[in-house]
Amino acid sequence: MSGIVGGKNHRGSGLIADLGTDGQILTSAGSGNRQIFEDAAGGGAWTLIGTSVASSSASLTQTGLDSTYALYAIAGADLKPATNGATMFFRVGDSSGIDSGASDYSYYSTNVGTGDVGAPHYATNSNSTDNIRVGHAVGSSAEDATSFLIYLNRGTSYPNISGTYSNQDNASPGNVTGGYTIGQREAVITLDRVQVLCSSGNIASGRFTVYGIKHT
Amino acid sequence: MARTRIENGIEVALTPEEETARDAEEKAWADKAPERELEAFCDKRRSEYPTIEELIVALYDTDDKAAIEKRRADVKKKFPKPA
């Protein structure tokens, strides 16, 4: 019977259940009924928009964001700057490119951490700047890197983000530091791309991934 | 060596205009380093100094005042002024 799918009342009979279409899954239709093929439930699923791996890269950019999703999740994993102590910048843009004007963004970012000397617990913010901070004083040594998970509300208002980050700083050995970041693009734009880069120097390694989040 | 960027997983060389823009951006960031350092220094000291309430209470107690003075001195030692 290998390879034969039978319903409850046909077990062992050799009958094949109704075939589904591409992407459907075989699932129960309730007590006493035959299993049937149905579309997979999609509620709340994260859909991969794209991912990039840094290799001594000036920036990592992902396009393809549109009104399909009002909310996106953006993950930075194990991002290591080439320059010790670099700050990680986040930016957004539209079909004409990434926005990097001197007053394009506002943000507030906390920074707390461990360490006996220079242990941070402070915040940095700006009402008019060219980026949103998603990592502070990130170390470039073997033990150092930064990661973040932020949510981007693309919506119809000013695109805005909220999320958390953590990294090893540029002390030796690196202290773990991190915090909460909120920020926004100071204009309504037809956002279709996001970017991460360092304040100076390249991103030596690490991954940048964007997901669209379904509401239903 | 020409810089590259990654867009949608594909490595792309920076155009001459992008190289110029990136150079300017990095210079602007470097030029503001002293300003950021001073801001961080102030934040760090402020976050560990005694509160105004503690300072007021210490005005009326000799032991408290001595403890406050030591705490302030310790914070100054922990976070020295930038050169």
Residue A118 is predicted with a pLDDT of: 54
Which residue in A has a C-alpha nearest to residue B29's C-alpha?
Answer: A199
Domain of residue A77 covers 46-213
Name the residue facing B14 among A51, A58, A122 (closest C-beta). A58
Q: Which amino acid is at A18?
A: D
Query: What pLDDT shows up at residue A120?
Result: 63
More confident residue, A24 or B23: B23
Q: Please, which residues bridge with residue B61 across strands?
A: none
Looking at the structure, do residues A94 and A199 belong to the same domain, yes or no?
Answer: yes
Query: Which residue ranges in chain B fall short of pLDDT 50?
Result: none
User: Which of helix, strand or coil describes residue B5?
Assistant: strand
B7 interfacial to chain A (CB closer than 8 Å): yes
| Measured CA distances, A140 to A128, A199, B40 (Å) | 28, 13, 20
Is the predicted pLDDT of residue A119 greater than 80, yes or no? no
What is the rounded average pLDDT for all residues in chain A? Answer: 87
pLDDT confidence of residue A68: 94
Identify the closest residue of chain B to A64 by CA–CA distance.
B8
Half-sphere exposure (Cβ direction) of A149: Cα atoms closer than 13 Å: 2
CB-count exposure of residue A36 (10 Å: 0-12, 13-18, 19+): middle
Paired tokens of A203: 């991103």
Residues A20 and A57 in one domain: no
Same domain, A21 and A109: no
Give chain A as a DSSP string: -TT----GGGTTTTPPPPP--TTEEEE--STTS--EEEEPP-TT-EEEEEEEEEEEESEEEEE---TT-SEEEEEEEEEEESSTTEEEEEEEEETTEE---TTSEEEEEEEEE--SSS--EEEEEEEEES-EEEEEEE--STT--EEEEEEEE-SSSS-EEEEEEEEEBSSSSPPEEEEEEEEEESS-----EEEEEESSS-EEEEEEEEEEE---
Same domain, A18 and A52: no
By Cβ distance, the residue of A52, A118, A199 closest to B29 is: A199
Is residue A71 pLDDT above 50, yes or no? yes
The answer to whether the Cβ–Cβ distance between B9 and A51 falls below 8 Å is yes
Residues of chain A positioned with their CB less than 8 A from the CB of B4: 56-58
Q: Which of A61, A79, A110 to mutate to test the interface with B (most CBs of B within 10 A)?
A: A61
Q: What percent of chain A has pLDDT over 90?
A: 59
- Per residue in A73-112, pLDDT tens? 999 999 999 999 999 999 999 999 999 999 999 999 998 8
Q: Which of A52, A121, A130 is facing B9, going by the closest CB pair? A: A52
Whether ipTM tops 0.85, in short, is no
Q: Does residue A70 have a pLDDT over 90?
A: yes
**Residue A102 and residue A81 share a domain:** yes
- Check pLDDT > 90 for residue A43: no
Same structural domain for residues A119 and A183?
yes
What is the model's pLDDT at position A2?
47
d(CA B71, CA B57): 15
Give the model's confidence band at A17: pLDDT under 50 very low, under 70 low, under 90 confident, else very high: low
**Is the confidence at residue A9, as pLDDT, over 70?**
no
Q: What is the pLDDT averaged over residues A63-67?
A: 96
Residue-wise pLDDT tens digits, A142-196:
889 999 999 999 988 999 999 999 988 877 777 888 999 999 999 999 999 999 9
Indicate if A65 and A5 belong to the same structural domain. Answer: no
Closest B-chain CA to A61? B7
User: Closest-CA residue in chain B for A101?
Assistant: B25
Taking the CA atoms of chain B, what radius of gyration do you get in angstroms?
23
Q: What is the mean pLDDT of residues A13-31?
A: 74
Same domain (yes/no): A85, A36:
no
Predicted TM-score (pTM) above 0.95: no
Residue B83: the pLDDT is 78
Residue closest to A92 by CA, chosen among A77, A110, A72: A72
DSSP state at residue B28: H
Is residue A10 over pLDDT 70? no
> Is residue A105 domain-shared with residue A19, that is, in the same domain?
no
**A200 vs B48: which has the higher pLDDT:** A200
A36 and A50 fall within a common domain:
no
Is the pLDDT assigned to residue A35 strictly greater than 90? no
Q: Which residues of A touch B77 (CB under 8 A)?
A: none
Q: Say whether both A6 and A69 belong to one domain.
A: no
Mean of pLDDT over chain B? 91
| Yes or no, beta carbons of A199 and B6 under 8 Å apart | no
Inter-chain CB proximity A64 and B79 less than 8 Å: no
Q: How far is A39 from chain B (nearest CA, A)?
A: 29
Residue A123 Cα, gap to closest chain B Cα (Å)? 8
Q: How far, in whole angstroms, is CA B21 from its chain's centroid?
A: 25
Residue A212 C-alpha, separation from nearest chain B C-alpha, in angstroms = 15
Domain of A125: which CATH number?
2.60.120
Residue range A38-43: average pLDDT?
71
Cβ A152 vs Cβ A185: under 8 Å: no
Give chain A's domain count: 2
For residues A10 and A127, the model is more confident at A127
Residues A162 and A57 in one domain: yes
Read off the amino acid at residue A30. G
Interface test mutation site (partner B, options A57, A99, A108, max chain B beta carbons within 10 A): A57
B62 touches chain A (CB under 8 A): no
Size of chain A in residues? 216
Q: Locate the chain B residue with the closest alpha carbon to A206.
A: B6
